[in-house]
Amino acid sequence: MSAVAVQTYPDYGQPLWKRIFLTREMAIIALLALTLLVASIAVPHFADRLTAYNLFRDMFATLIIALPMALVMITGDIDISVGSMVGLSCSMLGLLYASGVPFELAMVIVLLIGAAGGLLNGLLVTRIGLPALAVTIGTMALFRGIAVGLLGTSTITKFPQAWTDLTKYEIGQTGIPFIMVFFVLLLGAFVYLLHFTRFGRSVYAIGLNSEAAAFSGVNRERTRTILFVLAGTLSAMGGIYWTLLRGTARGDVGDGLELQVIAAVVLGGVSVFGGLGALHGVVAGVLLIGALSSALRLVGVTAEVIKIITGVLLIGSVVAGSLIAWIQDRRTKPAPAATGG
């Protein structure tokens, strides 16, 4: 051992406030706060209890699906079949219940179908080695196709009151629907998973450098497959929710949901190239889109404009991300690959 005094390393290169506030997530949270502020002042009725209530109810499915989607995208994959799985679960729930299956059992079956769909995605990506985009384009069509095929143009509108009412309850007079409790629990579970477990660390590892992750003993196939299964299961949950919310089962539910989820996730700081991102940013991203939609609707703007704005937000945040990365690259040039003689 050397007798020289050994250096002690500071844990972090930057002070705490910088580490917390100079992040993409904080930027989005700030933007969200700003939007809420401006809208409360400028838009009549925005600050009403009812607005908040509707906002949460409208965004619930997006909120819960954004959680696993963020993890999928951090590993560098993507899943654009989530909207179609929502539709399929909605369809299946209606059909199962209408054919006499007890509602609780039907829900469980639908969740299993979601998991199975996610498993299909995961296996095709990890075992067969196909790109996630291609696979989920196919399953997006397949799931939606089955949903529409089974139901056709018919809808099922009879569901147990006790369950549909669940989506209506409010917590006291806060304007927060009761179902948000459920979301908070899920959020807690995902925060734990991503930020406080080995599994979560390996998600980041795969996204940053898949090969090095393999050399460190990470089971990449299993991890990625699990994430797809989670995405499928939570999409199914979203589908169940929509059915209960509207009291109707239709085949076209969830159309375009994948855009909203991906836009929110990217807006929330998750890099399209993988390896970066955190859940608080993602939640802020979803709420930002929701708040904008609410505000615009109150002003009288149609739903289509909201679609445009979501699209613009997605493009804008990706381009901004690229720009930031480019600036950072210019400033901190790491040691080049000039190793070896």
Partner 1 sequence: MQSKDAIPVLELKGVSKSFGAVVALRNADLTLHAGSIHAVVGENGAGKSTLVKIMAGLYQRDTGTFEMDGHPVSFRTTAEAKAAGVAVIYQEPTLFPDLSVTENVFMGRQPTGRFGRIDKAAMRAEVVELMTRLGVRIDPDRITQGLSIADQQIIEIAKAISLDARVLIMDEPTAALSGVEVDRLFAVARSLRDEGRALMFISHRFDEVFALCDTVTVMRDGTYIDTVPTAETNVPAMVRMMVGRDVNELFPKIDVPIGEAVLEVSGLTSPGLFADISFNVRAGEIVALAGLVGAGRSEVARAVFGVDGYTEGHVRLNGVALPKGKPAAAMKAGIGFVPEDRRQQGLVLEAAIATNITDAIRDRLVSNAVITRKAENAAAQEWARALEVKAASLDTQAGTLSGGNQQKVVLAKWLATRPKLLIIDEPTRGIDVGTKSEVHRRMSELAGEGLAILMISSELPEVLGMADRVLVMHEGRLTAELSRAEATPESVMFAATHSPEEVPA
Partner 2 sequence: MTGIQATQDRVATVSIGSRLLGLLRRRETSILAAFLIMVIATAAVSPIFVFSPDGWRNLLLNPAIYMVLAIGVAFVIITRSVDLSVGSTMGLTAFGVGSLYIAWPGMPAVVAFLVGTAFGGLLGLLNGGLVAVAKVPGMVITLGTMYVFRGANILWAGSTRINASQMGPDFLAFGNAQILGIPALTILAVVVLVIAAWYLHNIRSGRELYAIGSAPEAAELYGLPVRQRMLMSFVMSGAMAGLAGVMFAARYGTIASNAGTGYELQAIGAAVIGGVAITGGSGTVIGAAFGAILLATINSALPVLGIQSFWQRAVVGALILGAIILDRVLAVRQKRKLIAERMEP
Q: Which amino acid does the sequence have at 77?
A: D
What is the separation of C-alpha 56 from the centre of its chain, rounded to a whole number of angstroms? 15
- In one-letter notation, the amino acid at residue 330 is R
Q: How far apart are CA 304 and CA 257, in angstroms?
A: 14
Contacts of 35 (CB under 8 A, 6+ apart): 288, 291, 292, 295
Using CB under 8 A as the criterion, what x/- string covers residues 55-84 for binding partner 2? -----------------------x-x----
User: Toward partner 2, which CB reaches closer, 107 or 124?
Assistant: 124
**Residue number, 173 or 339, with CB nearest to partner 1:** 339
Among 154, 174, 197, 322, binds partner 1 (CB under 8 A): 197
Nearest alpha-carbon partner for 78 in 133, 4, 23: 133
Which residues have CB under 8 Å from 34's CB, separation 6+?
A: none
* Region of residue 297 (phi > 0: left; psi between -120 and 50: alpha; otherwise: beta): alpha
Cβ 262 to partner 2 shortest distance, Å: 7
Partner from partner 1, partner 2, none binding residue 315, C-beta < 5-8 Å depending on class:
partner 2
Residue 201 touches which member of partner 2, partner 1, none, C-beta under 5-8 Å by kind? partner 1
Q: Does 216 bind partner 1 (CB under 8 A)?
A: yes
Instruction: Check residue 160 for interaction with partner 2 (CB under 8 A).
Output: no
Footprint on residues 270-299 left by partner 1 (CB under 8 A): 275
Work out whether 17 is an interface residue with partner 1 (CB under 8 A): no
Residue carrying structure tokens 């939570």: 234
Q: What is the rounded distance in angstroms from the CA atom of residue 41 to the CA atom of residue 84?
A: 37
Task: Point out which span in 67-75, 92-100, 196-204, 241-249 binds partner 1 (CB under 8 A).
Answer: 196-204
The answer to whether 259 contacts partner 2 (rule: CB under 8 A) is yes
Helix or strand (DSSP H, E) at 29: helix 24-42
Binding-residue total with partner 2 (CB under 8 A):
49
For residue 336, what are the CA distances in angstroms to 99, 332, 339? 65, 11, 8
* Stretch in the footprint of partner 1 (CB under 8 A) among 9-17, 83-91, 153-161, 308-316: 9-17
User: Which of partner 1, partner 2, none does residue 308 bind (CB under 5 to 8 Å by kind)?
Assistant: partner 2
Binding-site member from 98, 191, 201, 307 for partner 1 (CB under 8 A): 201
Measure the CA–CA gap between 34 and 36, rounded to whole angstroms: 5
58 vs 221, beta carbon nearer partner 1: 221
3-state secondary structure of 48: coil
Q: Are the beta carbons of 166 and 179 closer than 8 angstroms?
A: yes
Distance in angstroms (rounded) separating the CA atoms of residues 167 and 59: 12
Q: Does residue number 15 form part of the binding site for partner 1 (CB under 8 A)?
A: no
Give the nearer residue to partner 2 in terms of CB position, either 160 or 256.
256
For binding to partner 1 (CB under 8 A), which residues are involved? 2, 6-14, 192, 196-198, 201, 204-205, 208-209, 211-219, 275, 332-341
